[in-house]
């Protein structure tokens, strides 16, 4: 007789694991390889816009101001790249009482109907083995999470893959972390498209 406790929606852990397996991609982003990532390239004018916005998002008082700025630079460049890929809108707001934004980074047209999908973008400098934790508190507010990476974010971003909210809801928190981890082995792959500066301008508007 099973001694497993049911989840909040009535399923046991075994049932949740089985459903998670059914939702994961047959071909993962890791299997598809780096050559299948979406690549978005910026020119010097777009780079300056991204740098300016990263400065605005950075904390005015920080023990590590350069690291804070670099984190926002990578994060915002990745949001711009994802908005370009999805023909969506990046959240350009800078909130007075929050270090960054309010959790939903990009809104983009859903595949079906007239609604907008809400996207959380996570980014890392690790190009070969990218992964990032998404906080459990962020999962309920989004439809998809996207993982991006770059070692020179003012020049280019690679979009590694994506996953829907339901997969995140069924995924256990990583050991010692406050939520599930986005990593290549469980992400849906991209299809190797390239976007240049003109494509970025269509997504974020005129950049001079």
Q: Is 99 helix (H, G, I), strand (E, B) or coil?
A: coil
Residue 120 in any domain: the answer is yes
Q: What pLDDT was estimated at residue 199?
A: 96
Residue 188 in any domain: the answer is yes
| Cα distance between residue 187 and residue 39, in whole Å | 17
Q: What pLDDT was estimated at residue 6?
A: 40
Residue 14 in any domain: the answer is no
- In this predicted structure, the answer to whether residue 1 has a pLDDT above a threshold of 90 is no
Residue 135 in any domain: the answer is yes
Q: What pLDDT was estimated at residue 201?
A: 93
| Cα distance between residue 41 and residue 172, in whole Å | 35
Residue 178 in any domain: the answer is yes
- Ranges 18-32, 49-63, 128-142: which has the least confidence: 49-63
Q: What pLDDT was estimated at residue 31?
A: 97
Q: What pLDDT was estimated at residue 61?
A: 56
The total domain count for the chain is: 1
- In this predicted structure, the answer to whether residue 187 has a pLDDT above a threshold of 50 is yes
- In this predicted structure, the answer to whether residue 208 has a pLDDT above a threshold of 60 is no
| Cα distance between residue 134 and residue 104, in whole Å | 12
Q: What pLDDT was estimated at residue 119?
A: 97
Residue 23 in any domain: the answer is no
> pLDDT tens across 96-131, in order?
554 445 578 999 999 877 889 999 999 999 999 999
- In this predicted structure, the answer to whether residue 147 has a pLDDT above a threshold of 70 is yes
Helix 197-204 / helix 44-57 crossing angle, nearest 10 deg = 40
Closest CA to 80 of 114, 41, 117: 41
- Ranges 18-22, 98-102, 162-166: which has the least confidence: 98-102
Residue 74 in any domain: the answer is yes
Residue 1 in any domain: the answer is no
Domain residues for the domain of 173 are 29-204
Mean predicted lDDT score pLDDT of the chain: 87
């Amino acid at each position: 007789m099973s001694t497993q406790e049911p989840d909040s929606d009535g399923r046991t852990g075994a049932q949740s694991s089985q459903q998670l397996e059914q939702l994961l991609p047959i071909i993962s982003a890791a299997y598809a390889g780096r050559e299948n990532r979406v690549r978005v390239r910026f020119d010097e004018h777009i780079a300056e816009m991204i740098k300016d916005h990263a400065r605005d998002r950075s904390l005015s008082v920080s023990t590590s101001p350069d690291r804070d700025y670099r984190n926002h630079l990578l994060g915002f460049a990745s949001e711009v790249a994802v908005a370009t890929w999805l023909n969506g809108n990046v959240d350009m707001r800078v909130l007075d009482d929050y270090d960054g934004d309010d959790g939903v980074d990009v809104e983009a047209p859903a595949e079906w109907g007239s609604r907008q999908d809400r996207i959380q973008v996570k980014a890392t400098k690790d190009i070969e083995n990218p992964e990032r934790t998404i906080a459990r508190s962020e999962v309920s507010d989004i439809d998809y999470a996207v993982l991006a990476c770059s070692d020179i974010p003012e020049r280019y971003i690679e979009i590694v893959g994506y996953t829907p909210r339901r997969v995140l809801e069924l995924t256990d928190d990583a050991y010692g972390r406050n939520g599930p981890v986005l990593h290549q082995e469980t992400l849906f792959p991209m299809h190797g498209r390239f976007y240049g500066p003109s494509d970025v301008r269509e997504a974020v508007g005129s950049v001079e």
